[in-house]
Amino acid sequence: MALARWDPFREMISLREAMDRLFEESFVRPPLAPLRTAGTLAVDVRETDDAFIINASVPGLKPEDLNINVVGDTVTISGEIKEETKEEEANYIYRERRFGSFTRTVTLPTSLNPDKAEAVIENGVLTLTIPKAEAAKPKAIKVKTK
Protein backbone atom coordinates (compact mmCIF):
# COMPACT_ATOMS: atom_id res chain seq x y z
CA MET A 1 0.00 0.00 0.00
CA ALA A 2 1.47 3.30 -1.09
CA LEU A 3 0.93 6.51 0.77
CA ALA A 4 -0.21 9.51 -1.24
CA ARG A 5 0.85 12.95 -0.28
CA TRP A 6 -2.08 15.16 0.78
CA ASP A 7 -2.70 18.01 -1.63
CA PRO A 8 -5.25 20.53 -0.26
CA PHE A 9 -5.83 22.08 -3.70
CA ARG A 10 -6.98 18.77 -5.20
CA GLU A 11 -10.01 18.71 -2.90
CA MET A 12 -11.11 22.27 -3.58
CA ILE A 13 -13.51 22.77 -6.44
CA SER A 14 -12.91 25.56 -8.85
CA LEU A 15 -15.03 28.70 -8.79
CA ARG A 16 -16.35 27.81 -12.24
CA GLU A 17 -17.48 24.36 -11.09
CA ALA A 18 -19.19 25.91 -8.06
CA MET A 19 -21.02 28.49 -10.23
CA ASP A 20 -22.05 25.78 -12.73
CA ARG A 21 -23.48 23.69 -9.91
CA LEU A 22 -25.29 26.71 -8.45
CA PHE A 23 -26.96 27.64 -11.75
CA GLU A 24 -27.80 24.04 -12.58
CA GLU A 25 -29.50 23.46 -9.25
CA SER A 26 -31.30 26.81 -9.32
CA PHE A 27 -32.49 27.14 -12.91
CA VAL A 28 -32.01 23.98 -14.94
CA ARG A 29 -33.52 21.30 -12.75
CA PRO A 30 -37.11 21.86 -11.66
CA PRO A 31 -37.52 22.29 -7.93
CA LEU A 32 -39.05 19.41 -6.01
CA ALA A 33 -41.80 21.66 -4.67
CA PRO A 34 -43.02 24.19 -7.24
CA LEU A 35 -43.11 27.81 -6.21
CA ARG A 36 -46.56 28.88 -5.08
CA THR A 37 -48.07 32.00 -6.54
CA ALA A 38 -51.38 31.60 -4.79
CA GLY A 39 -52.99 34.84 -3.85
CA THR A 40 -51.65 36.82 -6.80
CA LEU A 41 -53.19 37.86 -10.08
CA ALA A 42 -51.22 39.00 -13.12
CA VAL A 43 -52.48 42.35 -14.47
CA ASP A 44 -51.64 44.88 -17.18
CA VAL A 45 -52.76 48.48 -16.63
CA ARG A 46 -52.88 51.12 -19.34
CA GLU A 47 -54.19 54.65 -19.43
CA THR A 48 -56.13 56.52 -22.10
CA ASP A 49 -57.27 60.14 -22.02
CA ASP A 50 -60.62 59.19 -20.45
CA ALA A 51 -60.10 55.86 -18.65
CA PHE A 52 -57.87 53.18 -17.24
CA ILE A 53 -57.97 49.70 -18.76
CA ILE A 54 -56.94 46.75 -16.62
CA ASN A 55 -56.41 43.33 -18.19
CA ALA A 56 -56.12 40.39 -15.78
CA SER A 57 -55.49 36.71 -16.48
CA VAL A 58 -58.41 34.74 -15.02
CA PRO A 59 -58.42 31.40 -16.89
CA GLY A 60 -61.36 29.16 -16.08
CA LEU A 61 -63.20 31.74 -13.97
CA LYS A 62 -66.78 32.80 -14.53
CA PRO A 63 -68.13 36.30 -13.84
CA GLU A 64 -69.79 35.10 -10.64
CA ASP A 65 -66.37 33.94 -9.32
CA LEU A 66 -65.00 37.52 -9.32
CA ASN A 67 -65.53 40.57 -7.10
CA ILE A 68 -64.41 44.01 -8.25
CA ASN A 69 -64.40 47.01 -5.92
CA VAL A 70 -63.43 50.59 -6.72
CA VAL A 71 -62.82 53.13 -3.94
CA GLY A 72 -61.34 56.50 -4.89
CA ASP A 73 -58.23 55.66 -6.92
CA THR A 74 -57.93 52.01 -5.83
CA VAL A 75 -59.23 48.94 -7.68
CA THR A 76 -59.44 45.57 -5.93
CA ILE A 77 -60.06 42.37 -7.87
CA SER A 78 -60.71 39.28 -5.77
CA GLY A 79 -62.20 35.86 -6.23
CA GLU A 80 -61.79 32.18 -5.69
CA ILE A 81 -60.60 29.36 -7.90
CA LYS A 82 -62.35 26.21 -6.77
CA GLU A 83 -60.60 22.85 -6.76
CA GLU A 84 -62.11 20.60 -9.42
CA THR A 85 -62.05 17.32 -7.52
CA LYS A 86 -60.71 16.15 -4.21
CA GLU A 87 -58.96 12.82 -4.43
CA GLU A 88 -58.10 11.43 -1.02
CA GLU A 89 -55.75 8.72 -2.29
CA ALA A 90 -54.09 10.72 -5.08
CA ASN A 91 -50.30 10.43 -5.29
CA TYR A 92 -49.25 13.65 -7.01
CA ILE A 93 -45.77 14.14 -8.39
CA TYR A 94 -46.45 17.81 -9.19
CA ARG A 95 -49.41 19.94 -8.28
CA GLU A 96 -48.97 23.32 -9.95
CA ARG A 97 -52.51 24.32 -10.82
CA ARG A 98 -53.54 26.70 -8.13
CA PHE A 99 -56.81 26.99 -6.32
CA GLY A 100 -58.08 29.05 -3.44
CA SER A 101 -58.82 32.71 -2.98
CA PHE A 102 -56.84 35.57 -4.50
CA THR A 103 -56.80 39.35 -4.22
CA ARG A 104 -55.06 42.00 -6.28
CA THR A 105 -55.19 45.70 -5.43
CA VAL A 106 -54.03 48.35 -7.91
CA THR A 107 -53.69 52.01 -6.97
CA LEU A 108 -54.05 54.37 -9.94
CA PRO A 109 -52.76 57.95 -10.22
CA THR A 110 -56.19 59.67 -10.34
CA SER A 111 -59.72 59.28 -8.98
CA LEU A 112 -62.10 56.96 -10.81
CA ASN A 113 -65.78 56.93 -11.76
CA PRO A 114 -66.95 53.40 -10.86
CA ASP A 115 -70.56 54.09 -11.94
CA LYS A 116 -69.61 53.83 -15.63
CA ALA A 117 -67.09 50.97 -15.30
CA GLU A 118 -67.36 47.89 -17.51
CA ALA A 119 -65.94 44.40 -16.92
CA VAL A 120 -65.85 41.67 -19.57
CA ILE A 121 -64.27 38.19 -19.55
CA GLU A 122 -63.18 36.80 -22.91
CA ASN A 123 -60.85 33.82 -23.48
CA GLY A 124 -59.67 33.82 -19.86
CA VAL A 125 -58.83 37.54 -19.78
CA LEU A 126 -60.76 40.04 -17.69
CA THR A 127 -60.90 43.49 -19.31
CA LEU A 128 -61.91 46.16 -16.84
CA THR A 129 -62.48 49.67 -18.20
CA ILE A 130 -62.88 52.34 -15.54
CA PRO A 131 -63.45 55.97 -16.59
CA LYS A 132 -61.56 58.71 -14.82
CA ALA A 133 -63.54 61.00 -12.54
CA GLU A 134 -64.56 64.29 -14.15
CA ALA A 135 -62.32 66.23 -11.77
CA ALA A 136 -59.31 64.17 -12.89
CA LYS A 137 -59.79 64.68 -16.64
CA PRO A 138 -57.69 67.40 -18.23
CA LYS A 139 -59.74 70.42 -19.23
CA ALA A 140 -58.84 72.80 -22.02
CA ILE A 141 -59.18 76.50 -21.30
CA LYS A 142 -59.94 78.69 -24.25
CA VAL A 143 -57.77 81.80 -24.46
CA LYS A 144 -59.48 85.05 -25.45
CA THR A 145 -57.98 88.30 -26.63
CA LYS A 146 -58.95 91.82 -25.50
What's the CA gap between 116 and 129, in Å, rounded? Answer: 9
Each residue of 86-113: pLDDT tens digit? Answer: 666 677 777 777 778 888 999 999 889 9
Cut 0.85: pTM above it: no
Please give the Cα distance from 84 to 90 (Å, whole number).
13
Distance of CA 126 to the CA centre of its chain: 13
Sorted by where each begins, the domain ranges of the chain are: 43-84+99-134
pLDDT of residue 18: 77
Q: For position 141, what pLDDT does the model report?
A: 80
Q: What is the pLDDT of residues 14-69, one digit of tens each?
A: 777 777 777 776 665 555 444 444 457 889 999 998 999 999 998 888 899 899 99
Fold category of 43-84+99-134 in CATH: Immunoglobulin-like (2.60.40)
